[in-house]
Amino acid sequence: MELLLDPAAWVGLLTLVVLEIVLGIDNLIFIAILADKLPPQQRDRARVIGLSLALAMRLVLLTGISWLFKLTEPLFWVGTLSFSGRDLILILGGFFLVFKGTMEMHERVEGKAHTISGSRMYASFWVIVTQIVVLDAVFSLDAVITAVGMVDHLAVMMAAVTIAIGIMLVASKPLTRFVSAHPTVVILCLGFLLMIGFALVAEGFGFKVPKGYLYAAIGFSVAIETLNQVARRNLMNSDSQRPMRERTAEGILRMLGKQAVTNDPTAEISPDAVAPQTFAVEERNMVSGVLHLADRSVHSIMTPRNDITWINLEDDPDKIRQEISNTPHGFFPVCQGTLDNIVGIGRAKDMIADLIQNRAINQNKLRPPIIVHETVRILDLIETLKTARGQLVIVINEFGAVEGLVTPIDVFEAIAGDFPDEDETPDIISAGENKWIVDGGTDLHHFEQKLEIAGLLDDEDEYSTLAGYMLSRFDRLPEVGDKLKFSHAGQEYRLKVLELEGRRIARVQVRRRPEDEEQVSGAPDTDAA
């Protein structure tokens, strides 16, 4: 009755139950491995028999070792120290726990898995049970010695062992999954083993460690591990709320050598830190193009209205023929008077043949135009292009006016970079060291890849070209010679308007210089570029 009213006994019981469960996991895993060698209908029975035998063996060992602990008469002396049978059991058991805890921790930290060598798949049920009995004898030693080292009362030891085996019997499968999913719990309990083994050795040499110290250390560690598991679960829940596509893209971008985006404004990145780069520059650009493709708008890849080459049926046949001959395209929008009045899509060779033979384009041979809205998703646009059989796709706005056109090569350029036609010049031309001449209609994704910068384009921005970025910064129509600048990764970039075509920025000069050469300002300026 006094034992039931002793708080220390209850604390010892609870702590010992937890330790016994963890120490019995290996026993449980090995029993599960052996039971799997049996037919499915016999496995649960073998698991119950194995754990029941483990309980009986531990209770017998507890009774025997507890009786040996009463042998307090000194057997021999070493100097001033006397050693009884109980002391020898404490020292040997303590060293056994330290050894087993160290070896188990080493295997788990090094990543070595438990294996059973020489096992055969026996059809006989009792042969498997015999193997389980042998394993129970081996795995019961550390559990029993731990119980003896933790509490002083045999009844508490037996109750803890019985409760632990009962819990393992009921929850064998979920318990195995829990320990496998939480390796830090196993490492923590192995640390408890080392601590208990040290306390047993010290007590065997006559230096008794109060059990309260052990309980306090174990309780504090369990509280910290509980907080760790809660924090880990919250982090996983928070991360799981992010779209799978975003997490996958972030992981691949790390492989590309790019710094992962962080929401912590106080986080600092060491300038000396070098990210491991798995891909070359061209490969990084292509993979990055694939990852960002679905996020881009159709405006960022289409040929804008001003650059469309189209055929006007009202023009002179010789002029139409000259227009087709001078333009290296296979298909042309054929219109009546204006680009918005599209009659159909004509193949270049068919229209040349008609003009030579009949001095007119046969409208019956024109293909019906494929039209999409400017808000179409890129992935949906790709599906449309697959059914177009090489034909171009017209992009219109909400008022029905033509905004541009898209061909399969435009999608390919969005991934692999610019492929100019014979009548085109590259969008970005090197004009010397750290200097470029850039077309105002250059896609910002391509511009960032070419200059190896980032951050010019956000998902909320309505522009997609370098000219659009500059107009958003100027907040007005600039004049030739106007400049602005921005900084990235310790470098200052200066943009200067070189040429205007009507109200469009046609050409821009870009210069790069180290940021410490001159104070950087984020606003437009009139300094010499």
In this structure, what CATH number is given to the domain that contains residue 381? 3.10.580.10
- Cβ atoms of 261 and 454 within 8 Å: the answer is no
153 in the same domain as 46: yes
Are 26 and 173 in a shared domain? yes
Q: Is 373 helix (H, G, I), strand (E, B) or coil?
A: strand
Q: Are residues 353 and 434 in the same domain?
A: no
Q: Are residues 66 and 147 in the same domain?
A: yes
In Å, how far are 437, 466, 474, 481, 500 from 478, measured between CA atoms? 17, 13, 7, 8, 9
In a shared domain, residues 182 and 203: yes
**Domain contains 116:** yes
Of 416, 440, 462, the residue at which a domain comes to its end is 416
Asked if residue 380 and residue 331 are part of one domain, the reply reads yes
373 and 462 assigned to the same domain: no
11-34: buried (b, 16+ CB within 10 Å) or exposed (e) per residue? bbbebbbbbbbbbbbbbbbbbbeb
Tell me, yes or no, whether 85 and 45 share the same domain.
Answer: yes
- Number of domains into which the chain is organized: 3
Per-residue pLDDT 10s for the chain (529 aa) are 455 666 677 777 787 777 676 666 555 655 655 565 677 777 777 777 877 887 787 778 777 766 666 666 777 888 788 888 767 877 877 787 688 678 777 876 776 544 444 444 444 777 777 766 665 655 565 566 666 666 667 777 778 778 877 877 777 666 656 665 677 777 776 777 688 778 778 878 888 777 667 767 877 887 888 888 888 888 877 766 666 666 666 666 666 555 544 444 444 444 444 444 555 566 666 776 676 777 778 888 888 888 889 999 999 999 999 989 888 888 999 999 999 999 999 999 999 999 999 889 998 989 999 999 988 888 888 888 888 877 889 999 988 899 999 988 888 888 777 776 665 677 888 888 889 999 888 888 778 877 878 777 776 667 778 888 888 888 888 889 998 888 877 788 899 999 898 888 889 999 988 765 554 444 444 443 3
Is 263 a member of any domain?
no
pLDDT of 406 reads 92
**Domain presence at residue 376:** yes
Instruction: Give the pLDDT score at 509.
Output: 92
What is the spatial distance between Cα 431 and Cα 411, in angstroms, rounded to a whole number? 28
Domain contains 193: yes
257 in a structural domain: no
For residue 271, tell me if it sits in a domain.
no
Is 365 within a domain? yes
Determine the distance from the C-alpha atom of residue 416 to the mean position of all C-alpha atoms in its chain, rounded to a whole number: 25
Q: Which domain holds residue 507?
A: 428-517
- My answer on whether 167 and 303 are in the same domain is no
Residue 402 tokens, joined: 């033509």
What's the per-residue H, E or C state across 377-442?
A: CHHHHHHHHHCCCCCCEEEECCCCCEEEEECHHHHHHHHHCCCCCCCCCCCEEECCCCEEEEECCC
Please check whether residues 398 and 494 belong to one and the same domain: no
pTM value surpassing 0.85: no
Last-in-domain residue among 187, 210, 233: 210
Question: Are 446 and 367 within one domain?
Answer: no
- Whether 245 maps to a domain, the answer reads no
Please report the pLDDT score of residue 76 as a whole number: 83
Beta strand 393-396 pairing with 370-373: parallel
* Rounded-to-integer distance, Cα 114 and Cα 109, Å: 13
| pLDDT score at 271 | 47
382 and 452 fall within a common domain:
no
Q: Of 182, 210, 238, which closes a domain? A: 210
